[in-house]
C-alpha cells in the first residue's frame, strides 16, 4: 500500500468514525406547514368540544391554521354555546352551558402513525399563566393509559414537562414517569419568545426526550410494561401525534390575568427512521 493509499484510507476511516448520529436516520415523513389554510386534512383531524382534563376551552378546527410557513394554534377568549348542555348534569362536558374560550387540538389518529425512530418539532410556545400547550403521542391499541402516552412537550404553570404513562393494576390510573423543568432555570429571559426544538428518540430498548439537545426524560422499555393489561405493549406499538393548546382545567392554572389571543406556533414536525 502506497503512502497516498494509506492517507486516503485514514481519511475514509476518520469520516466513518465521526459520522454524526443524525446520519443514522432517514426522513420518512414531515409536515413543514408551508401552505396556507387548514392543516392537511389527509394527516390532521381537529378534536371538537370539551375533550379532557376538565379544560376550559372549546376545541374547534378553525383555531388551527397554516400561514407564512407555520402552523398556528390560536386560543381566544370568546363565548361558545355548548350544544351538549344538560341542566343539572354531573358530567363536566354537559354541565356548562357555555365555553368562555376556544382553542384547537389536531391529531393524526387513523391517518398517520409510527413506531420507533426520531420525532422532532420546532416550535415557539406561549408560557403565560393558564396556558397548556402540548405535543404528544398515544398508542393506537388499548384504552388509556394502557395504550401508552408520551408527552414530548408539555407546558403549564411555569414548567416544561416531558412525561410517559402506562397502565397500572387499576383501570384509568397510570404509572407516570414525570419530569419537570422550570422555564426560569434556563436563565434566559427571552426563552419564550424564541423557537426551540423538541425531540424524541425511540427504539425497542428506550425512549429519550430532549429540548434543544438537553435530555428531559429517559425511559427503559423493559420497565414500561402494563401491570394488568399485558396484551397491550404501550411503547412497542405504533403511536399517533397530537398538537394542541389547552386552557385551565386540571393543570393549566388561572386564566383570569392572561390576555388573549395566545398562540402556539409550529415550524415543522418531522419523523425519521433508522436506516
Contact status, residue 118 vs residue 136, Cβ threshold 8 Å: no
Read off the pTM.
0.90
d(CA 160, CA 240) in angstroms, rounded, equals: 21
Residues annotated as catalytic are 149, 154
Nearest to 29 by CA among 149, 113, 109: 113
C-alpha cell at 234: 404501550
Report d(CA 104, CA 49) in Å as an integer.
9
* Element at 65 (helix H, strand E): strand 64-67
Residues with Cβ within 8 Å of residue 81, at least 6 apart in sequence: 97, 98
pLDDT in tens, the chain (275 residues): 554 554 554 455 444 444 455 568 999 999 999 999 999 999 999 999 999 999 999 999 999 999 999 999 999 999 999 999 999 999 999 999 999 999 999 999 999 999 999 999 999 999 999 999 999 999 999 999 999 999 999 999 999 999 999 999 999 999 999 999 999 999 999 999 999 999 999 999 999 999 999 999 999 999 999 999 999 999 999 999 999 999 999 999 999 999 999 999 999 999 999 98
- May I ask the CATH class of domain 24-49+67-72+106-274? mainly beta
Instruction: Determine the pLDDT at residue 5.
Output: 54
CA distances to 51, 98, 103 from 77, rounded to whole Å, are 18, 12, 9
Amino acid at each position: 500500500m502506497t503512502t497516498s493509499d494509506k492517507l486516503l484510507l485514514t481519511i475514509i476511516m476518520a469520516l466513518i468514525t465521526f459520522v454524526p448520529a443524525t446520519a443514522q436516520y432517514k426522513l420518512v415523513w414531515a409536515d413543514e406547514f408551508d401552505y396556507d389554510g387548514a392543516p392537511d386534512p389527509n394527516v390532521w383531524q381537529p378534536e371538537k368540544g370539551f375533550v379532557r382534563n376538565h379544560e376550559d376551552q372549546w376545541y374547534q378546527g378553525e383555531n388551527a391554521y397554516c400561514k407564512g410557513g407555520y402552523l398556528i394554534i390560536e386560543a381566544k377568549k370568546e363565548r361558545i354555546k355548548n350544544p351538549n348542555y344538560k341542566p343539572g348534569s354531573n358530567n363536566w362536558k354537559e354541565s356548562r352551558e357555555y365555553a368562555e374560550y376556544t382553542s384547537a387540538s389536531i391529531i393524526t389518529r387513523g391517518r398517520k402513525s409510527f413506531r420507533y425512530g426520531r420525532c422532532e418539532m420546532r416550535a415557539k410556545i406561549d408560557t403565560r399563566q393558564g396556558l397548556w400547550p402540548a405535543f404528544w403521542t398515544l398508542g393506537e391499541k388499548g384504552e388509556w393509559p394502557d395504550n401508552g402516552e408520551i408527552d414530548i412537550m408539555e407546558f403549564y404553570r411555569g414548567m416544561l414537562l416531558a412525561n410517559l404513562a402506562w397502565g397500572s393494576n387499576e383501570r384509568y390510573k397510570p404509572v407516570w414517569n414525570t419530569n419537570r423543568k422550570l422555564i426560569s432555570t434556563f436563565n434566559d429571559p427571552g426563552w419564550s419568545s424564541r423557537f426551540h426544538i423538541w425531540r424524541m428518540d425511540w427504539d425497542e430498548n428506550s425512549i429519550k426526550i430532549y429540548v434543544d439537545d438537553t435530555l428531559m426524560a429517559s425511559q427503559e422499555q423493559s420497565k414500561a410494561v402494563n401491570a394488568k393489561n399485558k396484551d397491550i405493549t404501550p411503547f412497542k406499538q405504533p403511536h399517533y401525534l397530537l398538537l394542541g393548546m389547552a386552557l385551565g382545567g386540571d393543570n393549566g392554572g388561572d386564566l383570569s390575568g392572561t390576555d388573549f389571543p395566545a398562540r402556539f406556533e409550529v415550524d415543522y414536525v418531522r419523523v425519521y427512521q433508522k436506516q
